[in-house]
Structure 1
């Protein structure tokens, strides 16, 4: 399923304009609050990072195209809160929560810094990798979730069917295509695969340019 966020190599979206170095982390003050709300809601344990990514991908295309970065975060967060029964549509419309006891996993301010410092490692134990550094592999075609129709995947469409070279092995990691949909972590070997920019785009910026992608084992087959 093609999603509006899968923009790599798509014509008509204009050039990528890098932000200047040393900019203020939050352009507007409400961006800071948007991040805080997202962290606080995530700390309730009702979903994982892959679920939240999928929620952003599922925004209506017209909204995804016009929303700024943090507007996408807030819109997807609102959808998740309603879907998980943590907030009602009436509460969102009113901007006020109904009387309810505090959530047992309420994410208090003093817990934020330790939680961010700890991070969320996604390395897991798993079987032996099927590929080694130097192996030539082909990315699965089409680029879709093989478990859930229209589901979340980290395989970009511009790489689907393309041949690249395994350059790094990262061990087994949580498989996002399953984790985003409540199907368990199903860890798989994760690889960094290098693709020739000329193979992907046809006209690279410079001869010899490469694009490297971190891809799960089920995305790949031996070329």
Structure 2
């Protein structure tokens, strides 16, 4: 079963309308504040990036479809803060005075923000020898699911499940999100860019010859003779 966030290729949502080039970075002032709060909370070291993604995926379908982009961020963040005991529900709702936090020393100073953003969160690790090479034909696992945690986080999109594509890039070994999102360790494994013909994914592409490229971990793939 897929979560509501896995919506690539779904009919009925209308055309994709990119913002104009001169659009502001944040459409609303509070969008920038939402990003800042999310970054500051992440610096507390209480969860991984993969776990934060899974928290947003776990929003109820009703909330996920009703929330805007940054509302989804805040919804996931609120859940993580309570789950990890960083704040209580009453503190979050303004029904109780916030208690001093033992994590206050890990706050992200304003002056450190540019450096932290520039350094990113590298996920490259030492790991096993790649099973596939550039030019190999591979099939994405079907169904798209986390095989270690039922209903858990995975980076294999449902629209690619079962589709056949070609390996076009090898990125070395990287942290495996399916385990890292659930505190089961980084379990690094080879990461590939796989190119799929749009017709293989959608059946009726807008233009013949269009392709879609996905970055996929080795566990998501099987060889095609």
TM bracket (short chain): over 0.9
1:34 and 1:97 map into 2 onto residues whose CA distance is: 22
Q: CA deviation at 1:145?
A: 0.3
What residue is the counterpart of 1:136 in the other structure? Answer: 137
Residues 205/191 of structure 1: CA separation in 2 closer, same or farther (3 Å cut) = same
What residue is the counterpart of 1:31 in the other structure? Answer: 31
**2:77 aligned with 1:77, yes or no?**
yes
2:222 and 2:111 map into 1 onto residues whose CA distance is: 47
1:97 and 1:25 map into 2 onto residues whose CA distance is: 34
Q: CA deviation at 1:22?
A: 2.8
Residues 56/154 of structure 1: CA separation in 2 closer, same or farther (3 Å cut) = same
**2:47 aligned with 1:47, yes or no?**
yes
> Does structure 2 conserve the Cα–Cα contact (< 8 Å) formed by 1:179 and 1:186?
yes
**2:189 aligned with 1:188, yes or no?**
yes
Q: CA deviation at 1:98?
A: 2.0
What residue is the counterpart of 1:58 in the other structure? Answer: 58
What residue is the counterpart of 1:206 in the other structure? Answer: 207
Mind listing any 5+ residue stretches in structure 1 that lack a counterpart? none
TM-score, normalising length: structure 1: 0.97
Q: Match of 1:192, SS? A: strand
Q: CA deviation at 1:38?
A: 0.1
What residue is the counterpart of 2:89 in the other structure? Answer: 89
> Does structure 2 conserve the Cα–Cα contact (< 8 Å) formed by 1:154 and 1:215?
yes
2:102 and 2:85 map into 1 onto residues whose CA distance is: 14
Quick check: 106-115 or 149-158, which moved more? 106-115
> Does structure 2 conserve the Cα–Cα contact (< 8 Å) formed by 1:87 and 1:97?
no
How many aligned positions are there?
223
Q: Match of 1:144, SS? A: coil
> Does structure 2 conserve the Cα–Cα contact (< 8 Å) formed by 1:145 and 1:151?
yes
What residue is the counterpart of 1:215 in the other structure? Answer: 216
2:101 and 2:188 map into 1 onto residues whose CA distance is: 36
Task: Give the RMSD, CA atoms, in angstroms.
Answer: 1.2
Q: Match of 1:194, SS? A: strand
What residue is the counterpart of 2:109 in the other structure? Answer: 108
What residue is the counterpart of 2:153 in the other structure? Answer: 152
